[in-house]
């Protein structure tokens, strides 16, 4: 009961924090207008902006007594591969501009930031111009290796994981049973090993635990980080989930045994004419459907969760006129508290599902079939013959 109460407290605290960023969001960073977010359209554009990656770490904004917008946060390094080679500068040089108006000259070429993307202006162009669909015509995207907010979050979580689990590993040198925080981490590690790796892969599970454990905790902690008011949305970036899915694809493709490839390319036990058809289906399944399902599931769940939580918080603003501040605040509080609790579950669940499916795909690729098909056929033939005799 006490634990339950505590978790409620925790959730409430979390909500207040979320709520505070909601408010700061409401008055912050729709960069195009540089002003507060008060209308439904502004809220929508703010939310869509949030679920994208960003080049600076923005905490909150406020309007000071002189009526100036102030942004609180810190810049992150921008590293891009441009026509002039690798160029690096701090994101503060864009001055929070996200509409392509502010031109940064670095490394002998010019850059603008438009909708969270860095564009390089064509040589000679003085300012960015758009066609009628609002696509830039005299600028092109560059390969962006920046330490963006997502990369920053991943690095943070990577360091955190190394510190936590490295610490746990060191504890075993002195004692059999870990103490302190390690006592929380150990059952989680054992959970992944016993509930995800072992049942899905079988006795060869050991060599894949490195990947599965890393991916599980990486996704889970990043999902949880996404629920904090810092506004990370790392596992909601399609590039991140795509990279993770491709890791799984590479592992089960290169670790797949002879049986796996035989069943994929030249399915035994079916008429020869059907075999090529099956091979096409199996290849599509292995190289497109499986990784695509992995990457889309994680990306969509986390992005959707962020959108829902932020929309519910935004009720405070959008329904203020209908329900008064108190009414909309209460409604927003209750709904987003509820959804945030569910999101806590989803954070774990998506990490679990991603890891579990990865383990399942790997397990299918390395499974030994004992040539069961041949034996079964023989047995059947024997039985049939016995029936006739």
Partner 1 sequence: MEQLLNDFSPGLFVMQTLIMLVLIFIMAKYAWKPIMNSVEKREEGIKDALDAAEAAKKEMQNVTADSERLLKEARAERDVLLKEARDIKASIISEAKEQAQVEGDKMIKQAQATIESEKKAAVADIKAQVANLSVEIAEKVIKQELSDKDKQEKLVEDMLGDIKLN
Contact string 106-125 vs partner 1 (x = CB under 8 A): -----------x--------
Q: Which of 154, 163, 155, 307 is nearest to 241 (CA)?
A: 154
- Least CB distance from residue 61 to partner 1, whole Å? 24
Contact string 255-294 vs partner 1 (x = CB under 8 A): ----------------------------------------
- Least CB distance from residue 310 to partner 1, whole Å? 17
Query: Contacts with partner 1 in 149-178 (CB under 8 A)?
Result: 150-151, 154-155, 158, 161-162, 165-166, 168-170, 172, 176-177
The smaller minimum CB distance to partner 1, of residues 21 and 154, is found at: 154
The smaller minimum CB distance to partner 1, of residues 207 and 257, is found at: 207
The smaller minimum CB distance to partner 1, of residues 184 and 243, is found at: 243
Query: Contacts with partner 1 in 38-67 (CB under 8 A)?
Result: 52-53
Q: Phi and psi (nearest 5°) for 56?
A: -135, 165
17, 59, 242, 364: which one binds partner 1 (CB under 8 A): 242
- Least CB distance from residue 84 to partner 1, whole Å? 16
- Least CB distance from residue 307 to partner 1, whole Å? 13
With binding defined as CB under 8 A, does residue 143 bind partner 1? yes
> Is 250:300 a contact under the CB 8 Å cutoff?
no
Neighbours of 389 (CB within 10 A): 5
How far from chain centre, in Å, is Cα 200?
A: 23
Query: Contacts with partner 1 in 200-239 (CB under 8 A)?
Result: 206, 209-211, 213-215, 218, 237-239
Q: Please give the structure tokens belonging to residue 327.
A: 């009414």
- Least CB distance from residue 52 to partner 1, whole Å? 7
The smaller minimum CB distance to partner 1, of residues 175 and 385, is found at: 175
The smaller minimum CB distance to partner 1, of residues 25 and 154, is found at: 154
The smaller minimum CB distance to partner 1, of residues 125 and 189, is found at: 189
Query: Contacts with partner 1 in 303-362 (CB under 8 A)?
Result: none
With binding defined as CB under 8 A, does residue 183 bind partner 1? no
| Total number of residues that touch partner 1 (CB under 8 A) | 47
- Least CB distance from residue 162 to partner 1, whole Å? 6
- Least CB distance from residue 97 to partner 1, whole Å? 19
Q: Phi and psi (nearest 5°) for 114?
A: -135, 120
Contacts with partner 1 by CB under 8 A lie at: 52-53, 80-81, 117, 143-148, 150-151, 154-155, 158, 161-162, 165-166, 168-170, 172, 176-177, 186, 189-190, 193, 206, 209-211, 213-215, 218, 237-240, 242-244, 246-247
């Amino acid at each position: 009961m006490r634990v339950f109460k505590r978790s409620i407290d925790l959730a409430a605290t979390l909500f207040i924090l979320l709520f505070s960023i909601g408010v700061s969001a409401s008055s912050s960073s729709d960069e195009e207008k540089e002003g507060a977010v008060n209308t439904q359209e502004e809220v929508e554009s703010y939310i869509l902006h949030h679920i994208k990656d960003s080049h600076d770490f923005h905490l909150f904004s406020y309007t000071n007594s002189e009526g100036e917008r102030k942004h609180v946060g810190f810049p992150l390094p921008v590293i891009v591969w441009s026509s002039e080679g690798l160029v690096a500068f701090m994101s503060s040089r864009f001055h929070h501009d996200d509409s392509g108006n502010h031109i940064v000259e670095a490394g002998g070429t010019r850059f603008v930031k438009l909708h969270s993307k860095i564009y390089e202006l064509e040589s000679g162009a003085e300012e960015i111009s758009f066609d009628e669909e609002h696509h830039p015509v005299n600028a092109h995207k560059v390969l962006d290796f920046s330490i963006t907010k997502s990369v920053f979050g991943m690095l943070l979580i990577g360091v955190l994981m190394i510190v936590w689990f490295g610490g746990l590993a060191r504890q075993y040198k002195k004692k059999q049973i870990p103490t302190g925080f390690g006592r929380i981490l150990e059952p989680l590690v054992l959970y992944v090993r016993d509930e995800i790796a072992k049942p899905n892969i079988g006795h060869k599970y050991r060599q894949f635990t490195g990947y599965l454990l890393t991916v599980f905790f990486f996704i889970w902690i990043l999902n949880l980080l996404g629920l904090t008011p810092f506004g990370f949305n790392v596992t909601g970036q399609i590039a991140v989930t795509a990279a993770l899915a491709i890791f799984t694809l590479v592992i089960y493709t290169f670790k797949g045994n002879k049986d796996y490839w035989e069943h994929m390319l030249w399915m035994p036990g079916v008429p020869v004419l059907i075999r090529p058809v099956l091979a096409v289906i199996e290849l599509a399944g292995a190289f497109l459907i499986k990784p695509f399902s992995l990457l889309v599931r994680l990306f969509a769940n986390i992005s959707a969760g962020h959108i829902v939580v932020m929309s519910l918080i935004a009720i405070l603003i959008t329904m203020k006129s209908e329900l008064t501040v108190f009414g909309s605040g209460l409604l927003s509080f209750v709904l987003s508290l509820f959804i945030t609790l569910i999101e806590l579950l989803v954070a774990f669940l998506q990490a679990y599902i991603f890891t579990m499916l990865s383990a399942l795909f790997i397990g299918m690729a390395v499974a030994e079939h004992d040539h069961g098909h041949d034996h079964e056929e023989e047995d059947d033939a024997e039985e049939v013959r016995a029936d006739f005799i």
